[in-house]
Amino acid sequence: MKNAIRTIVSMAVSALMVGLLFGLLSSAGNGTASSAILSGLRNAIAVFVAVYVVAQIVQATVRAQRALVLLRASCGAGARLPGLFHMTLVTFVRGACADMLPARLGELSYVAMLNKGCDVPAADCFSSLSIGLLFDFIALLAVLAVAIPGAAQGLSLVGSLAMLAIICVVGLVLLFGVLPWFAGMAPRLERFAPFRWKPAAALLKLVRDVADAVVAVRRRGVAAPVIGLSVLVRAAKYGGLYFLFVAVTRPAWPELSHAGVFAVLVALIAAEGAASLPVPTFMSFGSYEAGGLAALTALGFSAADSMAAMLTMHVLSQIIDYTAGGLSFLLFTWLGGGGAGDSAPKREAKPCHGRIAVAAATAAVLGMALLFAAYQFRAVKKRGRLTPPPVGAAVAPTPAESAARDAALAKFGGKIVWSSNRSGSHDIWIIDGPGRKPRRLTSSGFTDTYPRFSPDGRLVAFSRSTEPWVSQRNFEKWDTWVVDLETGRERRVATNACQACWSGVRELAFVRAGGKLLASVSTEDGTAGVLLESGVPPLGDGVLVTIPDAQAQDPRFALTLRGKRRATAHFSPAGAAVGDRSAIADVAGGCQMVWRKDRPESGKSGTPVWVDHPGRMRNAIYTFGESAEGPIILLDAEEPWSHEYFPRFAEGGRWLVYGASQGGHEQDSEDYEIFLWDTEGTNIPPARLTFHTGNDCWPDIFLPGR
């Protein structure tokens, strides 16, 4: 039972740490930071990452051997100590915990595990820890002395070398001079009243014991092997970190990846030094990057690239180190401390009901930890694809598919636009007449998507990313542009704006601030306004707006609500102006609600249409029937192209254009194809318009004369 509880606790701790790391990733900053970090993690070169992992194993093993050398010197030859395997587990846990507290106070996990788990005296634990840390600094001094002359502009860091040398000298004096002297003064100090206080007396005794252990190590003359092992530790550590640096920078920041070995070493040492400062950071995030940034910029590299690369490498190294530490803690608690720990007296067993209560509470903690980790993982995943999808290749339509496409376009007689990555990045493409082949309308090198025809068909509004690749799940890195179909002239009409729809002949409504605002702008004079704001009636707190749609003869907007309120809804701006909470009315579940624009002579304004489950491949297009009380399926096409998405109607409501995949869902990376359907010919299946294995998404349709 005891080992089971320990195992559950260790699993909970590991799950919590993984969740925290995913949380850091999902909120790694606005602007370019988060996408750059996530992209760098995904594209890291696996072989070099594996070299880092091997180097970590070597480093932990050598550290464990050094600790055993120091413990044997202080405890004496007859002492029972944990074996090399158990000591390596302790070293991995220590490495994971070192950065959890400022000034590397997490190193004390080493003392706790050896003392409580292996019954090693606390004084000997502190002695080996202190001496090991001091010799780490001495080995670091040697590495830095070699690296600085080999780094470009390295002389600018000679001050750091001198400061490190001073720290080493002061450490030697304090550890091997002042500490034993202070311990010798302990008998005199015990006469004073403050040192008779139990906590002070215990602390004084610990200092005396540590000093005795340090003196014992010094007398046994183990300096040479400890120095040699310390150099091996540093070589394994920085060798692994160098390969990890290259693994991260080569795909994303090639200029940094070609930095010299010595320049990278200087940056890594500077980062570690900054992380060791008594700054209140969690896992040294911020201080570590600041140290590396200062060194890399001093060596002439871009500040933005240096910061992003150091943060990405830090996140990846923490994921690996915390995984290794968590697994090591799991093994340590499952196997027991080994060595001296096996001879420790057993405690009296607790009553059965107490053990059951502890086990239940521990299992509950584990469950919450796993849920937290899963939630954070989902938050990262929902940020969308980190890199552009494959471009794909053209495929030849069958004779029947060609005939169906040509017949549908000839009968339709209008224009269709959509976003496609077939040319490398997502651009806007158009088919603008019967018999016409698809042609590219924009070519920016950025991500152009979500095209929408103006009511008169002369302009197309679209969203353009502010970076070359941005996932369409990210609502924060877009501007709204319009392109004139006659002249091809493009102009930006709104910044920090995406998913624009035409709410008038020359007015656009769009999503801003990640869905917290539904705003508007005039394409003629730039007049701007706010239609909806999260937290302000009629939109509740934590409710986000996405995918707005409007039509000229209906003052309502179709919306998809996310966050605390998940629904398709329609919104009346006139009611919102007076704070009417009923200005937003839920229609159904699902997403991507649009208006089916009925003919003016029908006397109807518009019927809502949306995408929802189920369907042959999870999705179908739904609407309301004239006689049915609830929703009905408007279209659930035959397989294999039956995962419908992106519905849009031409004026009059007869013609429907949409995208469909063979089951994949991700809107900007799956192989969606564009289809056109005449809703009056229900016995005729939709016609496939595109034949390409790349991503074709977010079509729109325009029929002149309506």
Which pairing describes strands 591-596 and 554-563: parallel, antiparallel, or unpaired? unpaired
- CA–CA distance, 699 with 555 (Å, rounded to integer): 23
What pLDDT sits at residue 268?
78
Q: What's the pLDDT at 641? A: 96
Residue 705 neighbours by CB distance under 10 Å: 8
**What are the residue boundaries of the structural domains of the chain, listed by start?**
57-336+354-381, 399-702
Q: How many whole angstroms separate alpha carbon 491 and alpha carbon 312?
A: 35
- In whole angstroms, how far apart are CA 75 and each of 270, 415, 448? 35, 85, 69
Rounded Cα distance between 548 and 498, Å, is 10
How far out from the chain centre does Cα 635 lie? 37
pLDDT of amino acid 659: 97
DSSP one-letter string for 343-385: GSPPPPPPPHHHHHHHHHHHHHHHHHHHHHHHHHHHHHHTT--
Q: Alpha-carbon distance 244 to 262, whole Å?
A: 15
Given a cut of 50, the residues of the chain with pLDDT beneath it are 14, 17-18, 21, 25-33, 150-156, 340-351
Helix axes 261-275, 287-298, angle to 10 degrees: 150
Cα–Cα separations (whole angstroms), residue 520 to 139, 274, 339: 62, 47, 72
CA distance 433 to 412: 9
| Residue carrying the six token digits 């003919």 | 599
* H or E stretch covering 112: helix 109-112
Q: What pLDDT is stored for residue 75 in this prediction?
A: 76
Give CA–CA dist 363/289, Å, rounded.
37
Q: In the 8-state DSSP scheme, what is residue 692?
A: B
Evaluate the CA torsion angle 370, 373, 379, 383 in order and state its sign: negative
Report phi then psi at 676, rounded to 5: -125, 135
Give the contacts of 65 (CB within 8 A, at least 6 positions apart). Answer: 84, 87, 229
* DSSP state letters, 29-75: -TTTHHHHHHHHHHHS-HHHHHHHHHHHHHHHHHHHHHHHHHHHHHH
Strand pairing category for 554-563 and 567-571: antiparallel
- Residue 199 sits at φ, ψ, to 5 deg, of -60, -40
Per-residue pLDDT at 658: 98
Identify the DSSP state of 300.
T
Place of tokens 């034949």: 691
Non-local (6+) Cβ contacts of 344 within 8 A are: 119
List of residues 6+ apart from 48 with CB closer than 8 A: 243, 244, 246, 247, 250
Task: Name the CATH architecture for the domain at 399-702.
Answer: 6 Propeller (2.120)
pLDDT digits (tens, 9 = 90+) for 260-312: 777 777 777 777 766 665 555 555 566 676 667 777 776 667 777 777 788 88
Those residues whose C-beta lies under 8 Å from the C-beta of residue 105, and which sit 6 or more positions away, are none
Contact present, 286 and 310 (Cβ < 8 Å): no
Instruction: Say how far apart CA 691 and CA 396 lie, in whole Å.
Output: 7
Nearest alpha carbon to residue 16 among 96, 79, 115:
96
Query: Residue 464 burial by CB count (10 A; 0-12/13-18/19+): exposed, middle or buried?
Result: buried
How many beta carbons lie within 10 A of that of residue 342, not counting itself?
Answer: 12
- The 3-state DSSP class for residue 306 equals helix
Contact between residue 342 and residue 16 where contact means Cβ atoms under 8 Å apart: no
pLDDT at position 476 is 81
Residues in a beta bridge with 617: 619
